[in-house]
């Protein structure tokens, strides 16, 4: 299934080099002279994360693993070598045990080959501290913010230390919370990965279907927004405007997401949180899960400028 998807990505996006056998997606114009390379990756099933975010203004390369399975170090080393211009490479890693271990190993191997590597861990999920796949907070929607803003900084020619610092800051200023209305089904299992009876929802679900904070009877969009916003705002305590991502988990239509976005804006307004920009859509998904997540990121003028900078990828594009 992953190979089929990669062949489709290659057919539809000739601006990318898609190595189907070795599972690496690279900008066709990489490496770019005097530019820090950005590499990310993770299990497939979260599309457009990460392969859909390869291109000007975001990632230079991505490494897709099997469904919900970390890519392997060889993929990451190939990606780093393909995008390294001599200015170093930043690995952006979601906080899941397999991803962390494999990216750590890949960084050591890449450095043995003379590639300078820095790593940033994304751990923005405010729902739970530990889960089935990780120790500490899970990495979720803030990955998009980190890749976009750090990608803009790299495009401006910022050195590796600066790009790494910006990426860490974005992660620290971001929090997320997800809600599942149905379970997702992996190709290997052929059915739902967990039991969620009709008429119930999972509050704080992870992007692999990990358990959240609690399970309740179905709630209205108004009630879900109040619950999710309260958790995120209480954890983040924003004192400046925020970027807002209203993210679908894969099977929630845009019609419902915009209705939910209206409720999230209401809930944030009642808590005196100003929204600078909003992005609505399916960006960090969980196969065919019905549900949504919200991510907030506090921004100042510089971070907002980097967010607004042009981007041109399969999954995200605006500006020149």
Digit-coded pLDDT (tens) for 260-292: 999 999 999 999 999 999 999 999 999 999 999
pLDDT at 189: 86
Asked if 259 and 221 touch (Cβ cutoff 8 Å), the reply is yes
pLDDT at 244: 98
What gap in Å lies between CA 302 and CA 262, rounded to an integer? 27
Averaged pLDDT, 15-24: 98
pLDDT at 135: 79
Q: Is the per-residue pLDDT at 226 higher than 90?
A: yes
- Match 């495009």 to its residue by tokens: 155
Q: Is the per-residue pLDDT at 181 higher than 80?
A: yes
What gap in Å lies between CA 244 and CA 270, rounded to an integer? 15
Q: In the chain, what are the domains?
A: 1-122+136-150 (3.40.50.10440), 174-307 (3.30.1180.20)
pLDDT at 52: 98
Beta-strand (E) ranges in the chain? 16-19, 24-27, 37-44, 61-67, 89-94, 117-122, 174-180, 200-203, 214-217, 242-248, 275-281, 291-298, 311-312, 317-318
Asked if 291 and 252 touch (Cβ cutoff 8 Å), the reply is yes
Active site residues: 46, 208
pLDDT at 130: 76
Averaged pLDDT, 235-261: 98
Q: Is the per-residue pLDDT at 215 higher than 90?
A: yes
Q: Is the per-residue pLDDT at 193 higher than 90?
A: no
One-letter-per-residue 3-state SS of 68-80:
CCCCCHHHHHHHH
pLDDT at 232: 98
Bridge partners, 280 (sequence order): 246
Averaged pLDDT, 208-236: 96
Q: Is the per-residue pLDDT at 296 higher than 90?
A: yes
Digit-coded pLDDT (tens) for 28-63: 999 999 999 999 999 999 999 999 999 999 999 999
pLDDT at 147: 98
Digit-coded pLDDT (tens) for 115-153: 999 999 999 999 988 776 677 999 999 999 999 999 999
- Match 């921004």 to its residue by tokens: 299
Averaged pLDDT, 71-75: 98
């Amino acid at each position: 299934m992953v190979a089929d998807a990669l062949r489709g990505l290659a057919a539809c996006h000739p601006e990318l080099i898609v190595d189907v056998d070795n599972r690496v997606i690279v900008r066709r114009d990489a490496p770019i002279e005097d530019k820090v390379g950005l590499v990310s990756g993770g299990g497939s099933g979260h599309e457009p994360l990460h392969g859909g975010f390869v291109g000007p203004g975001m990632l230079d390369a991505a490494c897709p693993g099997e469904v919900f399975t970390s890519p392997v170090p060889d993929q990451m080393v190939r990606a780093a070598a393909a995008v390294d211009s001599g200015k170093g490479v930043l690995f952006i890693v979601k906080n899941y045990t397999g991803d962390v271990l494999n990216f750590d190993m890949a960084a050591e191997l890449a450095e043995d080959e003379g590639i300078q590597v820095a790593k940033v861990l994304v751990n923005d999920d405010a729902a739970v501290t530990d889960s089935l796949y990780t120790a500490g907070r899970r990495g979720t929607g803030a990955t998009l913010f980190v890749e976009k803003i750090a990608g803009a900084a790299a495009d401006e020619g910022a050195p590796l230390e600066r790009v790494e610092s910006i990426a860490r800051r974005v992660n620290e200023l971001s929090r997320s919370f997800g809600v599942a209305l149905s379970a997702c089904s992996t190709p290997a299992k052929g059915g739902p990965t967990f039991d969620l009876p009709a008429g119930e929802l999972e509050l704080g679900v992870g992007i692999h279907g990990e358990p959240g904070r609690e399970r309740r009877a179905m709630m209205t969009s108004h009630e879900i927004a109040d619950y999710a916003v309260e958790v995120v705002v209480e954890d983040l305590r924003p004192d400046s405007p925020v970027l807002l991502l209203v993210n679908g988990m894969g099977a929630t239509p845009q019609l419902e997401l915009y209705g939910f976005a209206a409720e999230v804006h209401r809930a944030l307004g009642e808590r005196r949180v100003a929204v600078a920009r909003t992005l609505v859509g399916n960006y960090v998904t969980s196969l065919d899960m019905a549900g949504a997540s919200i991510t907030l990121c506090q921004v100042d003028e510089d971070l907002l400028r980097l967010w607004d900078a042009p981007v041109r990828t399969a999954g995200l594009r605006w500006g020149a």
